[in-house]
Chains A and B, each alone.
Chain A
Amino acid sequence: MSVDAIQTALIVAAHVLFAVAAALTIVRIVRGPSILDRAVASDVLLTEVLCLLGAEMVIHQHTRTLPVMLIVAAVGVFGSIAVARFVARRDQ
């Protein structure tokens, strides 16, 4: 088995895993009973986007989306914090 074949197999496997993970996460975002479940699930989806950006850089051998990774990592936390702090209060 040549090096190219091994690399192709690894890339295809990673793509399949990312696709299944994102699909399952979207199922939880749609179904999630409370807004907090949806916040957690969308945070996971954002992390998957972060990992996918990195994986794409590894596969295609470039570093152009490295600043995007930095910004997504820095800004992504505010979404679920804002939801948990201001949206998810139960009305008493």
Chain B
Amino acid sequence: MDAALDIAALVLVLLGAFLCLTAAIGLLRFRDVPSRLHAATKPQVLGVMLIAAAIALSMRSWTVVVALIPVVLIQLATAPLNAHMVGRQAYRNGTVDEATLVVDELADRS
């Protein structure tokens, strides 16, 4: 049972590492700031959640879980804030690929 839980924790760590890799590949291949932001959000939320679940599975104590919950909650709270600020400034700077936009709801305000 312990060995199975340890292997499950390592598989979760591997999934988190894979999400980090997808974010890095997305950063390299996407063309403008908002699409790179889209790639960057994956490890920020899901990757940290998977790693936190792996730590909880590996330690198997409730104090560790109590310490991990604020980490995940802080990530959930700050990732959208961060993306909002960066995306807004990217739009104002004009570093958005206009040809790929379907609807530009801010077009008449700027």
A and B held together in a complex? yes
B18 to chain A: which residues have CB within 8 Å? 17
| Interface range on chain B (Cβ under 8 Å from partner) | 35 or more
B23 to chain A: which residues have CB within 8 Å? 21, 25, 44, 47
A44 to chain B: which residues have CB within 8 Å? 20, 23-24, 27, 40, 43-44
B74 to chain A: which residues have CB within 8 Å? 70, 73-74
In the complex the two chains form, what is the Cα distance from A63 to B8 in whole Å?
18
Q: Which of B47, B54, B59, B93 is within 8 Å of A36, CB to CB? A: B93
**Chain B proximity mask over A26-48: 1 for CB below 8 Å, otherwise 0:** 01100000101101110110011
Q: Which of B10, B68, B85 is within 8 Å of A84, CB to CB? A: B85
Number of residues of chain A lying within 8 A (CB) of chain B:
52
Identify the closest chain A residue to B10 (Cβ).
Answer: A10
A14 touches B48 (CB 8 A): no
**Chain B proximity mask over A52-66: 1 for CB below 8 Å, otherwise 0:** 001101110101001
In the complex the two chains form, what is the Cα distance from A59 to B55 in whole Å?
9
A40 touches B40 (CB 8 A): yes
In the complex the two chains form, what is the Cα distance from A3 to B13 in whole Å?
17
B93 to chain A: which residues have CB within 8 Å? 34, 36, 88-90
B88 touches A84 (CB 8 A): yes
Residue among B25, B40, B81 having the largest count of chain A Cβ atoms under 10 Å: B40
Task: Enumerate 22 A-B pairs (CB-CB under 8 Å) in ascending A order.
Answer: A10-B11, A17-B17, A24-B28, A25-B27, A27-B28, A28-B24, A41-B36, A43-B44, A47-B40, A48-B24, A54-B13, A54-B16, A54-B52, A54-B55, A58-B10, A63-B55, A66-B55, A70-B71, A73-B74, A80-B82, A80-B85, A89-B89
Instruction: Please report B residues at the A interface, Cβ cutoff 8 Å.
Output: 3, 6-7, 9-11, 13-14, 16-18, 20-21, 23-25, 27-28, 33, 36-37, 40, 43-44, 47-48, 51-52, 54-55, 58-59, 64, 67-68, 70-71, 74-75, 78-79, 81-82, 85-86, 88-90, 92-95
